[in-house]
Amino acid sequence: MRHIRARLLLSLLTVLVAAIGCNSDSDSSKQPPPPPIAQRDLVRHLVALQRIATENGGERAAGTPGFTASVDYVTGVLRRAGWRVRVQQVPMAGWRERSPATMTVAGTTLKPIRDFRVPSYAAAGQVDAPLRAADDGCQPSDFDRLQPGEVAFTGFGTCFLWRKTVNARRAGASALIAQTSSSKRGVASATLAVPRLGLPVVLMSRDVPARDGDRVQLNVNAQTRRASTQNVIAEIGPTDGRVVMAGAHLDSVPNGPGIDDNGSGVATLLEVARTFGPRPPGRVRLAFLGAEEEGLIGSRRYVRELSQAQRREIAAYLNLDMVGSPNAVPAVYSDGDPRLGRLLRRLHPGPERGVLVGNRSDSSAFEGKDIPINGLYTGANEPGPGGKPRDPCYHLPCDTFANVSMGSLLPMARAAARALYLLARDQAK
């Protein structure tokens, strides 16, 4: 009789354990959705990033103390939220201006940032020579009129600035000046993306009067050296199987705090981390990527170091770069994965436009690697409502906390969090 009772008790315990297992909180497909992201929490992160920039010379650019402090802040928030955190070291060529550049055109002294800007990776040099107008500079033949030692004068755009630089140097130019649009606040920062091209380069506002033959005096005091940056990679949930991923670049441009670009994306992901922990909807990975502003260096290194099997594990990658612009036009990447695009449009209230991102942000490092990508964006210096720039402080020192629109950021952040939840939950089923 005791044996019969023991067998009955064992059977009952087995049934109870099975029932508990079926309703366990570890079943991620049955997890309730996380609470919606709150504005005050986004503000807290933005204020912290602004404080870091203010305490470190007004910038958080890759390879600077401001970026190191940003890495420390992000890793601290993630670990307190219960995420597994890894800091990946990424070698890079570090470029810095040793002193502000000086420039005169036809005897008129120009003001740095307001009138002209030296792009990252421009070579040092002193020049005193006439301007020589070229076509768009994308072909070697565009510089046929150039005499050795003259300053090549062209426009910005059409092709990569590094290509114009190479063509100008091979034609014998002593420097390259590319005219570009500017806002009332100045010329936006840019990068050649390719170091050690051996030519001083300047972006000059179209508002500066300059003609073919004008005398230019230019002094660029810059240095390129070996350096490193970091990617912060955080994960929660199972340690194997398909993973849903989102990323945002952590660095600012030189001489700018970068609070919309891209503190807005960073703050969003930090709040995703807080609201998802400690019981996530599935396997989720967040990437805070370094040196995006220098040429997508961090994201390219991250993807390059993944094995083919690790790339196949990534079910989706969502990119968040500039999602709090003050004169916003909310948009989804039209050149991204259509299924992800439909999901993002459904989750963000109001009409969504499409934007061609190309290779302008970290998502391009994942594209073409059999990883579905898409993302959210509110605008840089493109025309927005009223014909004004969507972010008039794009790549400028005025990209501070005051530049961010919470009315733009909050719905974008909530849409991103909801999309990640649904994607992770579907993978966990």
- The residues carrying an active-site annotation are 292
Q: Residue 226 and residue 233: Cα distance in Å, rounded?
A: 23
What the block records as the tokens of 427 is: 């993978």
| Residue (of 400, 256, 265, 398) closest to 319 by Cα position | 265
Q: Which residues pair with 85 in a beta bridge?
A: 234
Contacts of 134 (CB under 8 A, 6+ apart): 142, 143, 145, 146, 152, 153, 154, 168
**What is the β-pairing status of strands 284-289 and 373-377?**
unpaired
Contact between 338 and 361 (Cβ < 8 Å)? no
Q: Which residues pair with 132 in a beta bridge?
A: 152
Q: Residue 178 and residue 368: Cα distance in Å, rounded?
A: 32
Q: Which residues pair with 375 in a beta bridge?
A: 319
